[in-house]
Amino acid sequence: MADAACLNRLPLDALHRRLGARMVPFAGYAMPLQYEGIVAEHLWTRAHAGLFDVSHMGQLLVRGARAAAWLETLAPGDFAGLRPGRMRYSLLLADDGGILDDLMVTNLGDHVHLVVNGATRDSDMAHLAARRPHDVGLELLGAQALLALQGPAAADVLGRLAPEPEGPGGVPVAGLRFMSWGSYRWRGTRLAISRSGYTGEDGFEISLPAAEAEALVEALLGDGEVRPAGLGARDSLRLEAGLPLYGHDLSPEIEPVEAGLGFAISKRRKVEGGFPGAPRILKALIEGPQRRRVGLRLEGRQPAREGAPIHAGDLQVGMVTSGGFGPSVGGPIAMGYVAAAHAADGTALAIEVRGRRLPATVVPMPFYRKSYVR
């Protein structure tokens, strides 16, 4: 447990505490774990709209004519072909193809915007800075907050808030396509809004000056469809959606194909290569990896947590990397890596929890349907 005095504070720290949040250390910050309860916040987000403060995540700007080409030397996405206003999920790769971080990349026209994980923000910055050519600019946006409004009511909520599109050709915020971005004004404050998130629900992420965040949050919470939600619900939502969490399901010891993230390797890059670890990763795409990330449904009610061994008979064939109770699924679920021979859907396995082996079955992911608006 981190010393509370050493933790960074979110721009909305005081507001979280006024709302009754239970604060916990996470990624070097004091973060809200829950307000009224994890299950309640999870289910409210599925039915209405949950508001998450994710300002601990790193927001970076990359500038220069060669910004996209340079990023392609570090990650396997097609950024040169990414149209202005569009986003792409990608992976920052080590020289051997291991995953250093997963991130969102947005083409903002005259520069590229990155959102990286809070726990890896500093190491990502160091990795990027050490490889940055002189004609590419790199900036950490330290005075920006980041909010995630997630759930089926999110578009209607933002429609009622009515931020005004900036510039010619701007669309109303509810008209944003999935994985697209727009610039808006609300009460004089500039909002960078993307239709994206990490809960499996339709929703939006809103980047804005930290000093203006509290007014926006209070306006959003004034809508009866919106309630605050914390880290606990965000974790159970992303687990049900089958979304990996860096530091648990992803690490430098794991390459993209075994992680089930082959889609993050753009079509052109599969042909051209040129990204870190390309020979290893392209070989895994063709021949298949030796292990795979899989979804697991457990019998009974007891969940399995990270680190629990996975067995096929007397043989240990893998390890749980994320696990818990799925409130929308109605039972315990987990993700983990198992040897490829035991990764097929329907495979019967057992997970060791507190000295007992609990029956489990490999199942397709997501565990709960994703509700993105395409």
Q: Where are the domains of the chain?
A: 40-288, 290-369
Which 3 state secondary structure label does DSSP give 86?
Answer: strand
Residue 371: predicted pLDDT: 80
pLDDT tens-digit series, residues 271-288: 999 999 999 999 999 999
How far is CA 343 from each of CA 283, 292, 331, 352, 354, rounded to the nearest angstrom?
A: 19, 6, 21, 17, 24
Q: How far apart are CA 126 and CA 104, in angstroms?
A: 18
Which residues on neighbouring strands pair with residue 195, listed in sequence order?
none
Q: Which residue in this structure is represented by tokens 């289910």? A: 43
Query: Does position 168 have pLDDT exceeding 80, yes or no?
Result: no
Report the percentage of the chain scoring pLDDT > 70. Answer: 99
Strands 99-107 and 111-116: antiparallel
Query: Does position 1 have pLDDT exceeding 60, yes or no?
Result: no
Report the percentage of the chain scoring pLDDT > 90. Answer: 95
Q: Which tokens go with 153?
A: 């009511």
Query: Does position 2 have pLDDT exceeding 70, yes or no?
Result: no
The DSSP element (H or E) to which 217 belongs, if any, is helix 213-221
Mean pLDDT of 160-169: 90
pLDDT tens-digit series, residues 101-145: 999 999 998 899 999 999 999 999 999 999 999 999 999 999 999
- Rg over CA atoms, the chain: 21
User: Residues 190-198: contacts with CB within 8 Å, 24+ apart?
Assistant: 190/166, 191/163, 191/216, 192/113, 193/158, 193/163, 194/87, 194/104, 194/106, 195/373, 196/87, 196/104, 197/148, 197/150, 198/148, 198/234, 198/237, 198/238, 198/241, 198/243
State the chain's mean pLDDT as an integer: 96
Q: How far apart are CA 86 and CA 83, in angstroms?
A: 6
CATH number of 290-369: 2.40.30.110
Query: Does position 374 have pLDDT exceeding 80, yes or no?
Result: no
pLDDT tens-digit series, residues 204-234: 999 999 999 999 999 999 999 999 999 999 9
Residue 3: predicted pLDDT: 61
Q: How far apart are CA 63 and CA 57, in angstroms?
A: 20
Mean pLDDT of 240-257: 98
CATH number of 40-288: 3.30.1360.120
